[in-house]
Amino acid sequence: MANTMKGPALFLAQFAGDEAPFNNLPSIAKWAAELGYKGVQIPTWDGRLFDLEKAASSKTYCDEVAGICRDAGVEITELSTHLQGQLVAVHPAYDSQFDGFAPEHVHGDPKARQAWAVDQMKMAARASRNLGLDVSVSFTGALAFPYLYPWPQRPEGLIDEAFVELARRWKPILDVYDEQGVDVGYEIHPGEDVFDGVTFEMFLEKLNGHKRCTINYDPSHFVLQQLDYLAFIDIYHERISAFHVKDAEFNATGRQGVYSGYQSWADRAGRFRSLGDGQVDFKGIFSKLAHHGYDSWAVLEWECCLKHPEDGAAEGAPFIRDHIIRLTEKAFDDFADSGVDEAQIKSILGLS
């Protein structure tokens, strides 16, 4: 029997800031615990909370970080490398926008920026192992995404070559994660080349089915694409290694649909909401994940175009807690077990 899902947990990226209690790990971990969270997912790029380089080289430092969290009442669920993973593959159209994800000394130099990102990803593999973590979460980056819509007509082979190159860049990184015994759960997300099930399959195929290539499941991005997020679990459950609990809604009008007319988040047909305020069928999701034996963390990634983040965080812990299904250790009809033995079975079937 699989273990029950763990949680609730909180992704700290959207809450970290320069003011207390959000400006250092001890205080933000204590704040999360006081809200009812049992775990925290740490953004590795935020030096106010975590020193990735030190964590990659020092088990002692990692023990200290884990101790800080434990003393506050939470444990570390995963390390996040979303920003660094994004920089493993950047189309030139996005160079200036994504420079801000990297230190100034590599701005304006895509090759140096990519090399920095690759090094960051490999350090996160070693840091995860030093922390005793088996999963991390990230983005794939994108080379093909500007060509999402097939007009003008794409040159033959353009998309295939983009995925060949994407896999070429990620294979050595994933090999380091394999050496450390850590999965990379990619968040399936528009803006990445891997944004739905088909593109995940394309990426995985170019990686020859690399066992460390897994999924950070986040239904909010599927609502915005109008993808069946429950069927997704049935199809890909063996590759789901992490879970971002995030709500969303899609309200098509006579004026806009999936692409949402370049509008701001508050004015889009598809928009992210705090837990319980959107349209995601979380009862269905938690049931599907429980059915398929998902036993890792349920982590709130708070993003909402309307609600204050601290209110969203406060509401998120009980929401997740109340949706986690404690798995039963017996069948509901065990009381009616007739205790039939092998001889009786053969007799029932007319085999004796």
What pLDDT, in 10s, does the model give residues 61-85? 999 999 999 999 999 999 999 999 9
Rounded Cα–Cα distance for residues 9 and 334 (Å) = 34
Q: How many CA atoms lie within 13 A of 84 on its CB side?
A: 25
Q: Name the maximum alpha-carbon separation found in the chain.
A: 81
**Which overall architecture, per CATH, does domain 6-348 show?**
Alpha-Beta Barrel (3.20)
DSSP calls for 52-86: HHHHHH-HHHHHHHHHHHHHHT-EEEEEEEHHHHH
What pLDDT, in 10s, does the model give residues 175-232? 999 999 999 999 999 999 999 999 999 999 999 999 999 999 999 999 999 999 999 9
Nearest CA-CA partner of 142 in 118, 165, 120, 108: 165
What pLDDT, in 10s, does the model give residues 108-157? 999 999 999 999 999 999 999 999 999 999 999 999 999 999 999 999 99
Three-state SS at 141:
coil
Rounded Cα–Cα distance for residues 195 and 199 (Å) = 6
Residue found by looking up tokens 């995030």 in the block? 246
**Residue 1's pLDDT band (cuts 50, 70, 90):** very low
Give the pTM.
Answer: 0.95
**Residue 293, token pair as written in the block:** 């034996």
pLDDT value of position 2: 61
**Residue 243, token pair as written in the block:** 């879970």
**Residue 3's pLDDT band (cuts 50, 70, 90):** confident
Residue 91 has pLDDT above 80, yes or no: yes
Domain ranges of the chain: 6-348
Which residues make Cβ contacts (< 8 Å) with residue 330, sequence separation at least 6?
none
Q: Are 204 and 196 in contact (CB under 8 A)?
A: no
Three-state SS at 161:
helix
**Residue 79, token pair as written in the block:** 């390390």
Backbone φ/ψ region at 77: left (φ over 0), alpha (ψ -120 to 50), beta: alpha
Q: Which residue has the higher pLDDT, 335 or 24?
A: 24
Beta strands in 147-295 (DSSP E): 183-187, 213-217, 240-245, 247-250, 270-273
Distance of CA 328 to the CA centre of its chain: 27
